[in-house]
Amino acid sequence: MTPVPLRIGRLPMPGFTVRRSGIRWLCEDGHICRPGEVIAFCNVSLAPMGRAANSADPFMDEARDFQIAFAPRCGGRLRKSADSAYGGFIDRLPLYFVWAPDFVIGHLENAYGRRGEGLDEDLRPLFLAGRRVTELAEAHEGLLTGWHDRSRAWWADDDGSFGTMLSLGNCEQAGVLRGERNAFLELFEATSGPAHAVFISDNTMVPCSAVALEQFQRTRAQFEEIGADFVRSFSAGSRVPAPREWIFTGLLLSALSRSPLSEHYEILSRSGLQRSGPSNAVILSLGSEFPVLLRHRRLGYSVSCHGFRIAEAGPAVHAWLQSNFEPVKRTPDQIRRDFQHLIDAVRARNDTQFLILNVLSTLIEENIHSYAPFDTPMRDTLSSVRAKELNLMLHDLARERDVSIIDVDAIAADLGSRQHVPDGTHHSGTMQTEVRGEILHALRARGVPGFGAR
């Protein structure tokens, strides 16, 4: 049987020269590929023809971490082309090769096809783009490596309108959506496209419902007032912030300036450049709804951070928070109202589906025989009681606002939380696969474009 060439294919971008790095392989020569398995990637750049780049050019805020990964449409034994990779910076910097559609990165021997897909078609391209927290955060080590406040990926071989799924969550969503190799590979191996997935980091601000709503509704003038207050507070404070505290406050200010729910996206595909967004579906987590958030005493905006991040932030940040913010307790009813307002506000602008992950409602290590020792309301004391009340609240919200519940609690119970969520927060790979499957099932049930099964 004639080996199947693995061509990178066309990438039409009129007015720009597309350049790439050498190919970096994710598997060894001789590897038996599955159809749709991502096997290699390269970095890509877009240089305007006959002029200098400017801020209006596409992908400018993701230009330094912009990659294409490749998946063969058929399976077979991989044989790499000798001129695909050169090592070192040649394979990292997207400078040295002009994109040539007929370039062949390798061949598949003994190829077998997936029904309906030709063996001789070009490679399936998966685009990956990261918006750096700071351009200083250079990390070209691998696939979608780096410190990003937003990372995203999309199958780029499809025509038509892309469906966008936005993940606003915490670490549980990171593992589920970005997968074992942190590059959305498992998610996209399971989808037919044209699908586009976006993940927002919770490094500083945890996107609870109240914070997401404020981000969505905040005006430019309000943000400028917040920014001016930051400057006044830290220049007038008795403590001089340490360098790490400037980084923390800078990231906090950056998060306050953005609204992931309002963002549009550029998407490059085999058929050219298009815009997508705001998102067709949003994934939120009850795990992001902490019992307490911080509210600015004068300006009224909310800050929700992981406690350990605040604890590590430093004394000047602590002094600023202590003198300018007050802790606000949130009951399940208040959280429900925040979700309602968020969903109503977003849907007033766009037709958006909402999926919400519930929380584990039992603690494997707990052995309560009587609730008498615990003060009421017990949701303020016992985390398992609060979790149960939150999960019940979510059922009310689902009925009232047509929201899909991703039942993490039930999946953990089925799989065994001692083995698969041993600390109550962080999932095993098996658990992540199951939760990912549930999310894809909900997206398909709601008709979100692009996320059909392969």
Partner 1 sequence: MLIALTLPRINQHMTVAVIRRIYAAEGELLSLGAKLLDLTVDLSSILPHDCPPISLYRMAMRDRVWLRRLAIAHGDTVEVGANLACFTTEPGEPLIGMPGRAARVTVAGIIDQASWWSGVRP
Q: 338 vs 389, which CB is nearer to partner 1?
A: 389
3 state DSSP class of 143: coil
CA distance linking residue 177 with residue 406, whole number of Å: 13
Q: Which amino acid is at 256?
A: L
Assess contact for 226 and 299: CB atoms under 8 A: yes
Among the listed residues 286, 265, 270, 295, the one whose alpha carbon sits nearest the alpha carbon of residue 197: 265
Stretch of residues binding partner 1 (CB under 8 A), selected from 102-110, 113-121, 160-168, 365-373: 365-373
Residue in 347, 426, 444, 446 binding partner 1, rule: CB under 8 A = 426
Among positions 33, 108, 294, 442, the unique one binding partner 1 when judged by CB under 8 A: 294
Q: How far is the CB of 315 from partner 1 (least distance, A)?
A: 6
Euclidean distance between CA atoms 42 and 332, whole angstroms: 46
Spell out, one character per residue from 136 to 155, where the chain touches partner 1: x when CB under 8 A holds, - when not.
--------------------
Q: What is the distance between the alpha carbons of residues 211 and 289, in angstroms, rounded to a whole number?
A: 10
Q: What is the DSSP letter of 178?
A: I
**Interface with partner 1 includes 351 (CB under 8 A)?**
no
Select the residue interacting with partner 1 from 270, 295, 296, 306 (CB under 8 A).
Answer: 306
Q: Is the peptide bond before 291 cis (omega within 30 degrees of 0)?
A: no
Strand positions, DSSP E, 156-250 = 163-168, 195-200
Complex with partner 1: residue 112 or 374, whichever CB lies closer: 374
If the CB atoms of residues 306 and 444 are measured against partner 1, the closer one turns out to be: 306
- Render 237-306 in DSSP notation, one character per residue: SSSPPPHHHHHHHHHHHHHHH--GGG--EEEEETTEEEEE-S-SEEEEEGGG--SEEEEETTT--EE---
DSSP conformational letter for 371: S
Residue with tokens 């997935």: 197
Asked if 416 interacts with partner 1 (CB under 8 A), we say: no
- By the rule CB under 8 A, 242 interacts with partner 1: no
Where residue 314 falls (left for φ over 0; alpha for ψ -120 to 50; beta otherwise) is left
Q: How many residues does the chain have?
A: 454
Q: Report, in Å, the least distance between residue 228 CB and partner 1.
A: 22
Q: How far is the CB of 368 from partner 1 (least distance, A)?
A: 5
Among 365, 376, 399, 453, binds partner 1 (CB under 8 A): 365
Distance CA 377, CA 329 (A): 13
Interface mask toward partner 1 for 12-51; x: CB under 8 A: ----------------------------------------
**In the complex, what is the shortest distance from the CB of residue 405 to partner 1, in angstroms, rounded to a whole number?**
23
**Which DSSP state fits 62?**
G
384 forms part of the interface with partner 1 (CB under 8 A): yes
* Chain centroid, CA 53 distance in Å: 27
**Contact residue for partner 1 among 297, 395, 418, 454 (CB under 8 A):** 418
Tell me how far, at minimum, the Cβ of 450 lies from partner 1, in Å. 30
**271 near partner 1, judged by CB under 8 A:** no
Q: Is 386 in the site for partner 1 (CB under 8 A)?
A: yes
451 and 196 Cβ atoms separated by less than 8 Å: no
Which residue's CB is nearer to partner 1, number 104 or number 310? 310
Judged by CB under 8 A, the residue of 3, 146, 250, 291 near partner 1 is 291
CB of 286 to partner 1, least distance (A): 14
Q: Which of 304, 227, 269, 309 is nearest to 18 (CA)?
A: 269
Instruction: Say how many residues touch partner 1, by CB under 8 A.
Output: 43
Work out whether the CA dihedral 111, 115, 117, 120 comes out positive or negative: positive
Does residue 318 bind partner 1 (CB under 8 A)? yes
226 binds partner 1 (CB under 8 A): no
Q: Are 309 and 48 in contact (CB under 8 A)?
A: no
Q: Determine which helix (DSSP H) or strand (DSSP E) holds 438, and give its type and residue range.
A: helix 429-445
* 239 belongs to the binding site for partner 1 (CB under 8 A): yes
Q: Binder to partner 1 among 136, 308, 351, 453 (CB under 8 A)?
A: 308
Rounded least distance, CB 385 to partner 1, Å: 9
- Which residues are near partner 1 by CB under 8 A? 170-171, 239, 290-292, 294, 306-308, 310-311, 315, 318-319, 321-322, 325, 327, 329, 363, 365-370, 372-374, 379-384, 386, 418, 422-426
